[in-house]
Amino acid sequence: MRQSSLVVVANRLPLDDNAAPDGACEWRRSPGGLAGALHAILEQAPATWVGWAGGVGPAPTLTDIGGLRLRPVSLSADELRGYYEGFANSTLWPLYHDAVQQPVFDRNWWETYRSVNARFAEAAAEVAEHAGVVWVQDYHLQLVPGMLRELRPDLLIGFFMHVPFPPPELYMQLPRRVELLRGMLGADLVGFQREQAAHNVAQLATKLLGAHATDDAITVDGRTVRTGAFPVSIDVAEMRALASRPDVLRQSEQLRHDLGQPKRVLLSVDRLDYTKGIEHRLTAYSELLRAGHVKVRDTVMVQVAVPSRERVESYQDLRDRIEGEVGRINGEFGRVGEPAIHYLNQPFARSQLAALYRTADVMVVTPLRDGMNLVAKEFVAAREDGRGALVLSEFAGAAAELPQAFLVNPHDVDGLKDTLLRAMSADPAELAARMTAMRDHLAGHDIQSWARAYLTALDHTGSLAERLAGDRAPAASVAWHR
């Protein structure tokens, strides 16, 4: 068994199951913030990524991506239901996102969540070198740090939560709240997107575990666990380069042409998820159309909503509702050849996303709650031209870093309408000033600096951070076989 000095453990490997009929597969990046962020720093790294490759049954054999080894973890159909669709995405996901959708508490899911977490911990223990570093990611694997510490006390263990960590009033609803908290605190350093999350965990550790806790450190069971905020980011250089490629600029011109050369293009790009506020946004837009504030003749809205977690009932219901609403709006306000909303329920290549970002006059990012929201950052990175307005929810982690966006409370539909109108009619000089400030921030806070900050905090020697987040070779496109 080959071992690595750095092991990343995440539910999902950074690839989408995209097999051709001959079994060959062009590796495609999974949509979703976590895979995108880590892929950018790890693709050339001498590391191993432990994760699920999608699908059920025996794990496929995967070849390395550059220096990155992939160690797939298998899931059975029952495990997929109980662990991924159930406890992770029907209990923890909604609860951690302010319960914007009612969390489901099903007692049958816990044991599967626990045993799948144990499988991930065992796989990580197998591939980690003596005294190596293991970096565990996100809410799917909250028990892994504690389990791994039992198996391999020699390791340095990090945990990063990509989603919000809820306030105690909500977390306390969890039937397995003590085990989950203790599991996460098995790490040496627990990182969050926002400082508020570290504060929430400190309060819970005091209350539930009798720990001595501050917002930076929690002492429990004779060990001290450090905590802190490390806001995740994007590969700014990659998006800037993509968005200024001549073919991408041509694609953007073509898109505008295909949209009928409107005066204004409004764009939203989300996973089709109830946390993203798509329904509130559609309501606001249709009310603007009805009131005549926006005319289909000169304004179009493009909503990209990539399919996500499609076997989970709440996601199926959401898709039905959104598609019904888009159909209703287009039926009521569209004209022949001029729909009010262009709805695209499909994955896109990075270059296509860059072309879309370059086409947008107003980027509408209005989640009801979001750990970070990388789409907002991608849009800013793509706008070398200094044009375009960003309408951003106050409830996205990104709002703390991008206060020059048009910030909005997406629950307040009237406020959302006003903000959309303000963004649509803003003076170009004002937009340029806002964009410059946001781009300046991003230039100093990209994905490499995120990894460096986290890994330096985890491993004081700093050698790991240097190796990973230093100069990298350009990304390669890699083909793999089943």
Binding of residue 340 to ligand ADP (CB under 6 A): no
Q: Which is nearer to ligand G6P, 52 or 333 (CB)?
A: 52
Contact pick of 39, 119, 149, 162 for ligand G6P (by CB under 6 A): 162
How many Å apart are CA 304 and CA 383, to the nearest integer? 19
**Strands 68-72, 128-137: parallel, antiparallel or unpaired by DSSP?**
unpaired
Specify the residue, 48 or 137, whose C-beta has the smaller distance to ligand G6P.
137
Q: How far is the CB of 428 from ligand ADP (least distance, A)?
A: 26
Smaller CB distance to ligand G6P: residue 74 or 308? 308
Comparing CA positions, the residue from 422, 416, 91 lying closest to residue 281 is 416
Distance CA 413, CA 126 (A): 51
Strands (E), 366-469: 389-393, 406-408
Q: Of residues 264-303, which lie at the interface with ligand ADP (CB under 6 A)?
A: 269, 271
Q: Is 345 in the site for ligand G6P (CB under 6 A)?
A: no
Burial 211-249 (b: 16+ CB within 10 A, else e): bebebebbebeeeebbbbbbbbbbbbbbbbebbeeeebe
Of 339 and 371, nearer to ligand G6P (C-beta) is: 371
Does the protein bind ligand G6P through residue 33 (CB under 6 A)?
yes
**Least CB distance to ligand ADP at residue 266 (A):** 16
Question: In terms of DSSP bridges, do strands 189-192 and 156-160 run parallel, antiparallel, or are they unpaired?
Answer: parallel
Judged by beta carbon distances under 5 to 8 A according to partner kind, the member of ligand ADP, ligand G6P, none in contact with residue 309 is ligand G6P
**Contacts to ligand ADP from residues 421-440, by CB under 6 A:** none
Give the count of beta carbons closer than 10 Å to the beta carbon of residue 273: 24
Binds ligand G6P (CB under 6 A): choice among 32, 228, 260, 347: 32
Q: Site for ligand G6P (CB under 6 A): how many residues?
A: 11
Euclidean distance between the first and final Cα of the chain, in Å?
20
* In contact, 451 and 472? CB cutoff 8 Å: no
361 catalytic? Reply is no
**Which is closer to ligand G6P, CB of 78 or CB of 247?**
78
In this structure, the strands spanning 217-220 and 212-213 are antiparallel
Task: Tell me the closest approach of the beta carbon of residue 124 to ligand G6P, in angstroms.
Answer: 17
**Which residues make Cβ contacts (< 8 Å) with residue 177, sequence separation at least 6?**
171, 204, 208
Determine whether 162 is an active site residue. Answer: yes
Residue 138 contacts which entry, ligand ADP, ligand G6P, none (Cβ below 5-8 A, type-dependent): ligand G6P
- Residue 105 or 348 with smaller CB distance to ligand ADP: 348
d(CA 373, CA 32): 9
Among 347, 409, 418, 422, binds ligand ADP (CB under 6 A): 347
Instruction: Write out the two tokens for 302.
Output: 């493009």
Q: Which of 16, 43, 138, 235 binds ligand G6P (CB under 6 A)?
A: 138
- Residues 59-63: contacts with CB within 8 Å, 24+ apart? 60/482, 61/481, 61/482, 62/13, 62/15, 62/480, 63/478, 63/480, 63/481
Site string for ligand G6P, 285-314 (x = CB under 6 A): -----------------------xx-----
162, 199, 280, 445: the catalytic one is 162
Q: Which is nearer to ligand ADP, 19 or 432 (CB)?
A: 19
Which of 187, 374, 380, 453 is the binder for ligand ADP (CB under 6 A)? 374
CB of 164 to ligand G6P, least distance (A): 10
307 or 428: CB nearest ligand G6P: 307
Q: Which residues pair with 220 in a beta bridge?
A: 223
CA atoms of 233 and 33, how far apart (whole Å):
9
Among 353, 423, 468, 469, binds ligand ADP (CB under 6 A): 353
Name the residue among 255, 262, 424 with its Cα closest to residue 338.
Answer: 262
46 is an interface residue for ligand ADP by CB under 6 A: no
> Nearest CA to 269 among 337, 360, 162?
360
Angle at 345 between CA 22 and CA 104, to 5 degrees: 100
378 interacts with ligand ADP by CB under 6 A: yes
Place of tokens 């998006």: 239
Binding positions for ligand G6P, rule: CB under 6 A: 11-12, 32-35, 138, 162-163, 308-309
Binding positions for ligand ADP, rule: CB under 6 A: 31-33, 36, 269, 271, 304, 306, 347-348, 353, 372-375, 378
Give the catalytic positions in this structure.
Answer: 162, 370
